């Protein structure tokens, strides 16, 4: 499993001023980082950059100290993105969306089928497996995208607003599944508007107009006593450079 390091990242689209400026954060395996901030603050841009979809204008993103390249490189390194718009093929079924991603990822047919059923079931979508995505509700589509992301069993899971369309029960299910990913040793980076969802993450990077302004770094809710708390503090140290430091 990998440590994700974002070091003094500045990111910009083709024209205009940088969307992210001088953002620094490190997330160790087994930890969940919430990326919060108002609409337009740069949350998706940060996740896209970590996913290799957008090249840093300045600064670096690395996995275990190795610089990340483009999206193909990030995929080969186990960086999974659940995008804000779901990114599902609407003309395929929910099951096909998950299965095709697994096959493209090199899984055998039998394993792809098994993981597809397992992950759709975990998201409460066993009955929707053979339904076209375009026939699913918004929340069902969102859960299908999460199932696909979970099925890939990445080292790094980037989850962009994946609870925005969900009811409270489904939201809790998703947060539990993200925590299970972290417990498996993955890094989970979760962009959200929802303060309650952010609060259950181990740390929080708060973006304001592309700058990391407020940072919370605290132990996981289930940390076992002071020793675990200290360990969590030591390994998850997001820093909003240059001024704010957890
Ligand atoms: N493809 C793009 N080309 C140019 N500008 C973009 C592009 N995508 C996003 N932006 C701009 O970058 C800024 C940050 O957008 P981003 O999508 O990262 O925000 P966000 O925090 O994810 O917002 P939301 O909560 O609404 O999803 C915005 O000003 C947006 O207009
Ligand atoms: Mg966004």
Would the CB of 149 count as within 6 Å of ligand 1? Answer: no
- Say if 36 falls within a structural domain: yes
Instruction: Please give the torsion angle defined by the CA atoms of residues 72, 155, 63 and 86, in that order, rounded to the nearest 10 degrees.
Output: 50
Would the CB of 18 count as within 6 Å of ligand 1? Answer: no
- Say if 83 falls within a structural domain: no
Q: How many C-beta atoms surround the C-beta of residue 77 within 10 A?
A: 17
- 123 CA to middle of ligand 2, Å? 22
* Below-70 pLDDT ranges, the chain: 214, 218-246
If asked whether residues 180 and 64 sit together in one domain, one would say: yes
- Say if 119 falls within a structural domain: yes
Per-residue confidence (pLDDT) for residue 133, from 0 to 100: 98
Would the CB of 43 count as within 6 Å of ligand 1? Answer: yes
How does DSSP assign 19-34, residue by residue? SEEEEEEEE-TT-EEE
Domain total of the chain: 2
If asked whether residues 123 and 65 sit together in one domain, one would say: no
**CATH number of the domain encompassing residue 185:** 3.40.50.300
Measuring from atom 8 of ligand 1, which residue has the nearest CA? 45
Q: 175-223, pLDDT tens digit by residue?
A: 999 999 999 999 999 999 998 899 999 999 999 989 997 678 865 444 4
If asked whether residues 170 and 51 sit together in one domain, one would say: yes
Domain range enclosing 190: 4-78+155-245
Would the CB of 116 count as within 6 Å of ligand 1? Answer: no
If asked whether residues 74 and 159 sit together in one domain, one would say: yes
If asked whether residues 66 and 168 sit together in one domain, one would say: yes
Alpha carbons 201 and 30: distance in angstroms, whole number = 11
Per-residue confidence (pLDDT) for residue 25, from 0 to 100: 94
Tokens 């998703």 belong to 174
Per-residue confidence (pLDDT) for residue 5, from 0 to 100: 97
């Amino acid at each position: 499993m990998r440590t994700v390091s974002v070091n003094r990242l500045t990111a910009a689209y083709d024209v205009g001023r940088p969307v992210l400026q001088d953002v620094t954060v490190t997330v160790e395996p087994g930890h969940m980082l919430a990326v919060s901030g108002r609409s337009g603050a740069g949350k998706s841009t940060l996740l896209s950059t970590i996913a290799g979809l957008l090249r840093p204008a300045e600064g670096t993103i690395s996995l275990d100290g190795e610089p990340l390249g483009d999206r193909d490189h990030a995929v080969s390194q186990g960086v999974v993105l659940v995008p804000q718009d779901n990114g599902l093929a609407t003309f395929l079924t929910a099951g096909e969306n998950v299965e095709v991603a697994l096959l493209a990822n090199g899984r055998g047919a039998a394993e792809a089928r098994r993981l597809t059923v397992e992950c759709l079931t975990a998201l409460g979508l066993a009955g929707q497996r053979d339904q076209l995505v375009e026939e699913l509700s918004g929340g069902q589509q969102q859960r299908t995208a999460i199932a696909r992301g979970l099925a890939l069993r990445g080292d790094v899971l980037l989850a962009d607003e994946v609870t925005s369309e969900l009811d409270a029960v489904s939201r809790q299910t998703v947060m539990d599944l993200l925590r299970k990913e972290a417990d498996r040793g993955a890094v989970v980076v979760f962009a959200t508007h929802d303060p309650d969802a952010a609060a259950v993450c181990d740390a929080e990077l708060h973006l304001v107009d592309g700058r990391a302004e407020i940072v919370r770094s605290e132990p996981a809710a289930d940390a076992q006593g002071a020793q675990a708390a200290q360990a969590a503090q030591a390994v998850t140290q997001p820093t909003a450079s240059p001024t704010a430091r957890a």
